[in-house]
Structure 1
């Protein structure tokens, strides 16, 4: 594709697809150019560097998160929708977390998300300062919860790209992890107490439980600020 007809948007979309399939280590300007039918030099002309391309790709995937209507949804429902959207987005792009650990990511995609999440809490009645703190708590929790699942997805993808029997290598790793856990009493008791059903819902349960706990705590602060449930004057948070 000639330089004149190639656009930055096309390059970023192709980069996201390549990152999804091959991970950070598989991203190269030459391979990306091949996907686009263009020379690597044309790709560089539009995005300057591979490092800048990674930042652009990271920011682009934040556009995938749906933003709930602030007027038509209660604040807890809106915060939950955005948190689950972020979680699903990260799992859909397992390369994002390692990329964000080495690149400063901030652009219109992430800014759009951050601004709307602030709006969720400000609409609920939180002050600007408390809304900022609330967004950080939710963001950090969702990111932390998604790291494990995203890392597992990225690891499995590397196994499949590496050839060999993926299922066998996965089972070998699980066996080694179990052997280590069995050396510690609480981990052993926890592992022995799990049922097949428990292991099938762990990730979703962790996300739902954590979100409810966080939002319950924020609700207490919000009620204290508005005086709901107080028999004596409430000082409120902050």
Structure 2
């Protein structure tokens, strides 16, 4: 008889195999995978390299995680568990939405690979942390009074994910340079100023960037855009 195939291609749709190696667990595999992802990115992660770091053969890993895609599902769900959502009865809805957005951004910047795989991690939304996160957000926005809370959430998260993806890519580039963000900007700016000669607004912006804290610049950009999004949501809420 042919072996039964999994009708749903997701790690959450099959039972976890018992381990013949007690020291090796799915949770431990995922934790080590996240360390590798944070340090070197998705391209550097492989089951072979992960097994070597855990002093385990690939066969042992596959007893817990069948493929790299499954591993990414598990890693995504694990880090989503770090994202905080304010209490459903928060008295100030804008402050609550700002806190939720800020926590998502902070998590995405700690794990710069996260946003790039959110739409690629198979049926990642079957994960317990992702489901709990979605449920808490839905409860918060429903309690706020949005007639279509899921659409309001989608609008907020689309902005946060877009900004976080850009920031994460930038910070990854900075990290690969081996220097600080300020050092990287200082090296980049003279060439940018030369290329922008004749474009007054760009020249002024590049010059100003040298005198400002790059972290504060990124925080300010994020906060400004978030305020615009919340202003728009406030108009929908008022209707």
1:65-84 deviation per Cα after TM superposition (whole angstroms, max 9, x unaligned) = 12211124422222111100
Which of these residues, 145, 150, 155, is aligned with residue 137 of structure 1?
A: 155
Which of these residues, 223, 228, 233, is aligned with residue 218 of structure 1?
A: 233
Indicate conservation of the 8 Å contact 1:12/1:56, yes or no. yes
Deviation at 1:103, TM superposition (A): 3.4
Q: 1:190 is matched with which residue?
A: 205
Deviation at 1:168, TM superposition (A): 8.0
Indicate conservation of the 8 Å contact 1:79/1:117, yes or no. no
Gaps of 5+ in 1: 225-238
Matches within 5 A, 1:1-238: 3-100=21-118, 102-104=120-122, 105-106=124-125, 107-127=127-147, 130-160=148-178, 172-182=187-197, 184-194=199-209, 196-197=211-212, 199-224=214-239
SS at match of 2:84: coil
1:40-86 deviation per Cα after TM superposition (whole angstroms, max 9, x unaligned) = 21112211011211121122111001221112442222211110000
Deviation at 1:184, TM superposition (A): 4.1
- 2 CA distance for matches of 1:198 and 1:34? 40
SS at match of 1:196: coil
1:183-212 deviation per Cα after TM superposition (whole angstroms, max 9, x unaligned) = 645423433455613645211111211222
Deviation at 1:10, TM superposition (A): 1.3
Residue correspondences, number: 219
Deviation at 1:152, TM superposition (A): 1.7
SS at match of 1:206: helix
- 2 CA distance for matches of 1:5 and 1:193? 54
1:131-162 deviation per Cα after TM superposition (whole angstroms, max 9, x unaligned) = 111111110111111122211222233344xx
Higher helix proportion (structure 1 or 2): 1
Are residues 146 and 3 of structure 1, via their aligned partners in 2, closer, same or farther at CA, if it must alter by over 3 Å?
Answer: same
Q: 1:236 is matched with which residue?
A: none
Q: With the length of structure 1 as denominator, give the TM-score of the two structures.
A: 0.79
Deviation at 1:19, TM superposition (A): 0.6
Moved more, 185-194 or 59-68: 185-194
Q: CA RMSD in A?
A: 2.8
1:169-195 deviation per Cα after TM superposition (whole angstroms, max 9, x unaligned) = 775544444443446454234334556
